[in-house]
Amino acid sequence: MRAARRPTVLALPALLLAAIVVVLVLVSLTSQSSPALTAHQLNAYQAAITPAMRDGGATVQEGMKPAISDLVDQHVVPPKNMVGEAEGWVVSLQADRKTVAAVHVPKALAQAQRLFLVALDHYIEAARDFGIAAGDASTRQQWLQKVYAAGTAGDQTYDEASGILQNWRRTLGLPSSPDFPGGG
């Protein structure tokens, strides 16, 4: 009988060794799984949103910011004309937002996408408020404060979204992108 027990005693270390091998194989397979985001996915997402984000940025930087300065200090363009400009900015920014919202988003970039859309919402709000400020001299300062707050929130949110993209670029070994400044 003792001879019959001996193979059982030897079987225990063999089972333990087999279990360790199975665990090591599973760990190896999980560590080799694809990353949450590939460089191709990131580049495709950026290529899809860049034209609309660039257009929105031009609206803010080249249209809205100079117009605020004009309304407050320079008085070159009559305020009634600025109301029409503001309406155009709203329409343009809404179109940019619609374009960005329609882009397929990899799961890893869902937060960046949400933040880009929120940033555009802030800029749309700032453009609307600017139109009101330009059209009503009696409440202009109150509305300009709202314009400044919405614009600042838009800038901060955009920078946060850009930071997510830039961090993924670094993680994937890609150079930073000049198309998304502020988040680097």
Q: CATH number, domain at 89?
A: 1.20.120
If asked whether residues 69 and 9 sit together in one domain, one would say no
**Tens-digit pLDDT profile for residues 100-131:** 999 999 999 999 999 999 999 999 999 999 99
pLDDT of 94 over the 90 cut: yes
The residue that leads in pLDDT, 165 or 24, is 165
pTM for the whole thing?
0.79
Range of weakest confidence among 10-19, 130-139, 171-180: 10-19
If asked whether residues 98 and 113 sit together in one domain, one would say yes
**Is the residue at 182 inside a domain?**
no
If asked whether residues 103 and 83 sit together in one domain, one would say yes
Number of domains in the chain: 2
If asked whether residues 63 and 19 sit together in one domain, one would say no
Q: Which residues contact 169 (CB under 8 A, 6 or more apart)?
A: 42, 175, 176, 177
Range of weakest confidence among 20-34, 60-74, 157-171: 20-34
Distance CA 68, CA 125 (A): 14
If asked whether residues 26 and 53 sit together in one domain, one would say no
- Domain residues for the domain of 151 are 39-171
If asked whether residues 10 and 46 sit together in one domain, one would say no
If asked whether residues 23 and 99 sit together in one domain, one would say no
**Is the residue at 176 inside a domain?**
no
If asked whether residues 24 and 73 sit together in one domain, one would say no
pLDDT of 5 over the 80 cut: no
Range of weakest confidence among 8-12, 123-127, 160-164, 175-179: 8-12
- Interhelix angle for 110-135 vs 39-58, to 10°? 0
If asked whether residues 63 and 130 sit together in one domain, one would say yes
Q: Terminal CA-to-CA distance of the chain, rounded, Å?
A: 73
**Is the residue at 47 inside a domain?**
yes
**Is the residue at 93 inside a domain?**
yes
pLDDT of 17 over the 70 cut: no
Distance CA 150, CA 157 (A): 10
Residue 39 binned pLDDT confidence (cut-offs 50, 70, 90): very high
The residue that leads in pLDDT, 88 or 14, is 88
If asked whether residues 62 and 78 sit together in one domain, one would say yes
3 state SS of 177: coil
**Is the residue at 130 inside a domain?**
yes
If asked whether residues 69 and 120 sit together in one domain, one would say yes
If asked whether residues 102 and 167 sit together in one domain, one would say yes
